[in-house]
Structure 1
Amino acid sequence: MSKNQLRSDKTCLNCNHVVHQRFCPNCGQENTDSRKTFHHLFIHFFEDLTHYENAFWKTIRNLLLKPASLSKEYLSGKRLSYLAPVRLYIFISFITFFVISIVAEGTELESKPLREIRPPAGLKLTPAEMAELREIEAVEIKQKKVDSLRVAGLFTKDEAESMKQSLEKNYKAVKIGEEFGYRTVRQLDSVQHSLPESKKFSPVKYWFYRKMTLINQKGMTGEELVNKFKESFLHNFPKVLFIYMPIFAFFLWLFHSKKRWYYFDHGIFTLHYFSFLLLVTLISISLDSVLTLLHSDIADLISQIMIFGVICWMLYYFFPAHHRFYGESRGVSFIKTAVLFFINFIIVFILLLSFMVYTLINLH
């Protein structure tokens, strides 16, 4: 029960009904002071989330260790003992993507220095590798000249480092375009117009080459391109996931009896399953971040084993959850889950591909 002080005024603020005790007999609102400090707001939010009855931890425990138990309990009518499915999903997804965004900011990809790109000494090189080695050596010569000018007093140390990094960045940016064979859009358009109709690039291939060449002209490195994808992914993936859940529930509806199961039932199962996936992701990312701070080979090994175990548990979880929730034989349940996995894998692949295209279109 809330410990907030009761109002001296006995008129309910919500419905104007006379309140003789703590709660209004007409609408159920508590007759306490509505103005709260930040501390009271935080406590009220947490109490409301956990129902003040240990429902939160009970929900989390069952979600992780008892596949489908929450869905079965909810549909059987036992709803006050656990967090509501929608509230559970929103809470876990918010915390998960918040933590992912924080971790992502601290793990920006670092550019490899040219000395790590350089082929090993004494190795027999192909003509292409020889050409690349000469380009690397040309950049390194320019960097040495910058160092000489710094020693001569023409540049400060910071200015020299900035110029050397710029030389590396420009080299790597050019390499992005060269992988597709074109340094400029003008060159690409010239080739496209000169080819006979039968050998011209398809519209999709031409669009992709043109986009990558434009990225090259803007001087964007491979690391910057990956970071752009990462930023777009973190921003849009929660929306994509929320939109995908009704599709996931729809396929469950297609594979099960329409008389026994409503679409609503499949929706509840889907909410709990996706909440589980996000919660396990949150736990694994949090533990991996802690282990990374130790900077030891043992910690890295433990992290890899943990991630492998988490992936296995995430893949396996759906099988017992499906079997227990729908009450079908293990054989029938296994066949249905295998088919559902295949269908959803195809859909997820298409969604990710569409997402990559969307990100490329919106690159500035």
Structure 2
Amino acid sequence: MGKTVLRKDKTCLNCRYVVENRFCPNCGQENTDTRKTFHHLFIHFFEDLTHYENAFWKTIKNLIFKPATLTKEYLSGKRLSYLAPVRLYIFISFITFFLITVFPNEKSDLVKINETKPVTNPINDSLKTADKSKEKNLNAPTLSIKEKEAIKNNTENASDKVNFLNFGYKSVQELDSIQQHAPESEKLSKFSYLINRKFQEVKDKNKEELFEKFKESFIHNFSKVLFIYMPLFAFFLWIFHSKKRWYYFDHGIFTLHYFSFLLSLFLILFLLTKIFSFFGDSGSISFIVGVFNFVGISWMLYYFFPAHHRFYGETRLVSFIKSVFLFFINFIIIIIILTLFSIYTFINLH
């Protein structure tokens, strides 16, 4: 605070170093009176908050509309005017996943239809029809022996399909009983048993409730998966660029800013969708939301190419080729990771 009165004592209260000016040359602490009035505390808090807000909005503006600008500014040493990369990512990640869990989830039309109409299984209905047809046709005197055998085989095949789709078990208790008391040759492997048991639970219990639990668990842990994946993303950048010119640290800062951008734009689109939902479900509102989502997703997909070109300073052709390779490599790996993570989440549902 420039207007704060300096202490007459020139000895630093923090390190006992002699202070000739306002700040200690040894530790940097301001040599002012530690006893502050309420007015001073209020003004100091307001100025800190204003500085943080200015730095935050300036950071967000450059992050979304000026690819790679934040990374270049940070690595060049201009750091006080912007939020630190790690703090920025943690803050945006927390706000994003917090709001996703806080906002109420609207039921889809399919769920609403299922709540008002009885659920039917067309395969079971067709099997029942086949059973009735079998009983009727097998007793018909005009059928030959071959025709009766054909009807019987078709019915058995339909039954096998139902068993395959239902994983061959009537209930979780039946599956557990087989796994505990059946001969070793008839028991399932541990992984197969877990998968079959989870699918059987979906059949036996409320599917909507299980889906909500799955979504809640997935969202809760997805931020951790994303944070763990970032070092791998930076590693691929390190592989594709000069080891003498760029350190892994540089790629890490670029990665933090890029992932912060993805989360920020996702958060903006999410909030816009929720805000427009309050105005009803008319065709014009749906069109506006669709336009915003199209523009936002397009910018998400395109953003990496100019960011990569501007930060690494390579020719447009070389930068484009590397960007395409990096884009598809990371896309394939993230799909694999999300698939494995989905299976893990499904298995660990309670």
Same fold (TM over 0.5): yes
1:225 aligned to 210, 227, 239, which one?
210
Measured after TM superposition, the shift of residue 331 of structure 1 is 2.1
Match of 2:251 in 1: 266
Measured after TM superposition, the shift of residue 95 of structure 1 is 2.0
Per-residue CA shift, 1:209-249, capped at 9, x if unaligned?
Answer: 122224545x3x22111111221122212221111111100
Match of 1:96 in 2: 96
Matches for 1:285-324 after TM superposition, within 5 Å? 285-295=270-280, 296-324=282-310
1:75 correspondence with 2:75: yes
Matches for 1:183-332 after TM superposition, within 5 Å? 183-188=170-175, 204-217=191-204, 219=205, 221-295=206-280, 296-332=282-318
Q: What is the identity, as a one-letter code, of the residue corresponding to 1:212?
A: F
Q: What is the identity, as a one-letter code, of the residue corresponding to 1:325?
A: F
Q: Give the Cα–Cα distance (whole angstroms) in 2 for the partners of residues 41 and 180 of structure 1.
A: 66
Match of 1:46 in 2: 49
Match of 1:340 in 2: 326
Name whichever of 280-289 and 295-304 sits farther off. 295-304
Q: What is the identity, as a one-letter code, of the residue corresponding to 2:75?
A: L
Aligned length: 309
Q: Give the Cα–Cα distance (whole angstroms) in 1 for the partners of residues 128 and 253 of structure 2.
A: 56
- The answer as to whether partners of 2:237 and 2:251 remain within 8 angstroms in 1 is yes
Measured after TM superposition, the shift of residue 97 of structure 1 is 2.0
Change over 3 Å in CA distance of 1:21–1:303 after alignment to 2: same
Per-residue CA shift, 1:82-133, capped at 9, x if unaligned?
Answer: 2222222222222222222222x444665544544568xxxxx966346799
Change over 3 Å in CA distance of 1:224–1:15 after alignment to 2: farther
Change over 3 Å in CA distance of 1:14–1:304 after alignment to 2: farther
- The answer as to whether partners of 1:7 and 1:33 remain within 8 angstroms in 2 is no
Measured after TM superposition, the shift of residue 354 of structure 1 is 2.4
Measured after TM superposition, the shift of residue 293 of structure 1 is 0.7
TM-score (norm 1): 0.71
Measured after TM superposition, the shift of residue 55 of structure 1 is 3.2
Q: Give the Cα–Cα distance (whole angstroms) in 2 for the partners of residues 359 and 191 of structure 1.
A: 25
Q: CA RMSD in A?
A: 3.8
Change over 3 Å in CA distance of 1:8–1:129 after alignment to 2: farther
TM-score (norm 2): 0.73
- The answer as to whether partners of 1:183 and 1:216 remain within 8 angstroms in 2 is no
- The answer as to whether partners of 2:195 and 2:347 remain within 8 angstroms in 1 is no
Measured after TM superposition, the shift of residue 194 of structure 1 is 7.6
Secondary structure of the structure 1 residue equivalent to 2:279 = coil
Matches for 1:25-174 after TM superposition, within 5 Å? 25-30=25-30, 31=32, 32-33=34-35, 43=46, 46-47=49-50, 49-50=52-53, 54-103=54-103, 105-107=104-106, 112-116=113-117, 128-129=124-125
- The answer as to whether partners of 1:64 and 1:276 remain within 8 angstroms in 2 is yes
Per-residue CA shift, 1:166-195, capped at 9, x if unaligned?
Answer: xxxxxxxxxxx9744423234336778989
Name whichever of 227-236 and 27-36 sits farther off. 27-36
Q: Give the Cα–Cα distance (whole angstroms) in 2 for the partners of residues 115 and 24 of structure 1.
A: 74
- The answer as to whether partners of 2:6 and 2:22 remain within 8 angstroms in 1 is no
Please identify the structure whose Cα radius of gyration is greater: 2
Change over 3 Å in CA distance of 1:111–1:14 after alignment to 2: farther
Q: Give the Cα–Cα distance (whole angstroms) in 1 for the partners of residues 199 and 88 of structure 2.
A: 41
Name whichever of 308-317 and 228-237 sits farther off. 228-237
Percent of aligned pairs sharing the same letter: 56
Q: Unaligned stretches of 5+ in structure 2?
A: 130-163
Measured after TM superposition, the shift of residue 319 of structure 1 is 0.8
Name whichever of 204-213 and 267-276 sits farther off. 204-213
- The answer as to whether partners of 2:308 and 2:323 remain within 8 angstroms in 1 is yes
Name whichever of 278-287 and 182-191 sits farther off. 182-191
Change over 3 Å in CA distance of 1:207–1:34 after alignment to 2: farther
Change over 3 Å in CA distance of 1:195–1:126 after alignment to 2: farther
- The answer as to whether partners of 1:284 and 1:306 remain within 8 angstroms in 2 is yes
Q: Give the Cα–Cα distance (whole angstroms) in 1 for the partners of residues 239 and 183 of structure 2.
A: 49
Q: Give the Cα–Cα distance (whole angstroms) in 2 for the partners of residues 118 and 91 of structure 1.
A: 44
Q: Unaligned stretches of 5+ in structure 1?
A: 120-124, 134-176
Change over 3 Å in CA distance of 1:17–1:183 after alignment to 2: farther
Change over 3 Å in CA distance of 1:323–1:195 after alignment to 2: farther
Q: Give the Cα–Cα distance (whole angstroms) in 2 for the partners of residues 250 and 93 of structure 1.
A: 21
Q: Give the Cα–Cα distance (whole angstroms) in 2 for the partners of residues 216 and 127 of structure 1.
A: 15
Change over 3 Å in CA distance of 1:127–1:84 after alignment to 2: closer
Match of 1:352 in 2: 338
Q: Give the Cα–Cα distance (whole angstroms) in 2 for the partners of residues 100 and 36 of structure 1.
A: 39
